[in-house]
Structure 1
Amino acid sequence: MLVSVERKVAIVLLLISILYLFLSFQLPAFPYAIVDADALPKGLGFLLAALSILLFILNPTEDRKKSDIKKDEVLMLLAVSGLIFVYILLFELLGFVIVTILFLLVTSRMLGYTKWKTLIAVSIGFTLVLYFSFNYLLQIYLPQGLLPF
């Protein structure tokens, strides 16, 4: 029954979604909110559970041969995971703008994008649009870090 890697991953994801749902039901409710703060976590938990069940049932690669993952692809996944970890560690210290621009630059360059002018323009533009949208339009304050705004 658990012959494929996809089915094993589906079971692990289902267990993670159950734990996630348990924790999201522990969030406090606010009396005057139309949509409470726990709506998104609960929705994501149920979505993850449903998708993991679908992965277990459908199992699209059951008839195919075992796919080989190349060593350089594994190293790239580990490198991107490491960059995400560094991003999380530096998020509060340096602030959203600086860390996000650096993350987008380094990750895009590492993944093979070579046009520096476009890369810099998109990284800075996207980050600033997000920052000002969250801070001034939605009034959800992101860490400013070293920057004065």
Structure 2
Amino acid sequence: MTRINHNQVLAVILGLFSIVYLWMAFQIPTFPIPRPVDSDAFPKALGSAILLLSIFLFFEKAGEKTIEVEDKGHVGFSFTSPRMQVVVTSVGVLAYAFLIEPLGFVLASSLLMFLLAIYYGYRAWLTNLATTLGIVLSLYFVMTRAVGVHLPPGILPF
């Protein structure tokens, strides 16, 4: 008898979630005016991606990959522990949610990406800044100009 591993349990849960999510995405009404990207496109793409990734996760071999963790010899509180990384990232996303309206999409997103990259250990400041601004500005202009989505401009003039 084959035993199911943790990845497979998680894959089944995510797969079921994605099926329900896709069902709800297909209930979104389309606009009568034709658009290149309708309001249901992103939820359908996201649900499909989650379903596909959950299938990949189900068939992944569990237990063969190990991650080496360096023991720094101290016990107690650490900003680099996995639990603390979840807390810091969650606080960052929460701060982002509160700052996106007053600062705007570009500044708030750039600040979040730049600071999280530094927190996770990427120390090339100039490359980090250029990459962050390139991604955020590209996303901003595609969403506002091509797709027609309103994103908060904040204190920037565009």
Task: State TM-score, norm by structure 1.
Answer: 0.73
* Change beyond 3 A, Cα 1:137–1:14: closer
Partner of 1:81: 90
The alignment-based identity, stated in percent, is: 35
Partner of 1:45: 47
Return the match for 1:145 from 121, 130, 154: 154
Q: Name the count of aligned residue pairs.
A: 146
- String of CA shifts for 1:102-126, please: whole Å, max 9, x gaps: 1122111101122333333443444
Partner of 1:90: 99
* Change beyond 3 A, Cα 1:80–1:33: same
- Whole-angstrom CA distance in 2 between matches of 1:88 and 1:147: 18
Between Structure 1 and Structure 2, the one with more helix by share is 1
- Whole-angstrom CA distance in 1 between matches of 2:48 and 2:25: 11
1:6 aligns to 2:4 (yes or no): no
* Change beyond 3 A, Cα 1:4–1:106: same
- Whole-angstrom CA distance in 1 between matches of 2:31 and 2:5: 44
Where do residues 56-67 of structure 1 align in structure 2 (5 Å cutoff)? 56=58, 58-61=59-62, 64=63
Q: Does the CA contact (< 8 Å) of 1:2 and 1:8 recur in 2? A: no
* Change beyond 3 A, Cα 1:128–1:23: same
Deviation at 1:68, TM superposition (A): 7.5
Counterpart residue identity of residue 7, structure 1:
Q
Q: Does the CA contact (< 8 Å) of 1:14 and 1:49 recur in 2? A: yes
Deviation at 1:65, TM superposition (A): 6.5
* Change beyond 3 A, Cα 1:40–1:130: closer
Q: For structure 2, list consecutive stretches of 5 or more residues without a partner in the other structure.
A: 70-79
- String of CA shifts for 1:83-105, please: whole Å, max 9, x gaps: 22332332223211110121122
Counterpart residue identity of residue 43, structure 1:
A
Q: For structure 1, list consecutive stretches of 5 or more residues without a partner in the other structure.
A: none
* Change beyond 3 A, Cα 1:73–1:132: same
1:115 aligns to 2:124 (yes or no): yes
- Whole-angstrom CA distance in 2 between matches of 1:117 and 1:47: 32
Deviation at 1:9, TM superposition (A): 0.7
- Whole-angstrom CA distance in 2 between matches of 1:39 and 1:125: 24
Task: State TM-score, norm by structure 2.
Answer: 0.70
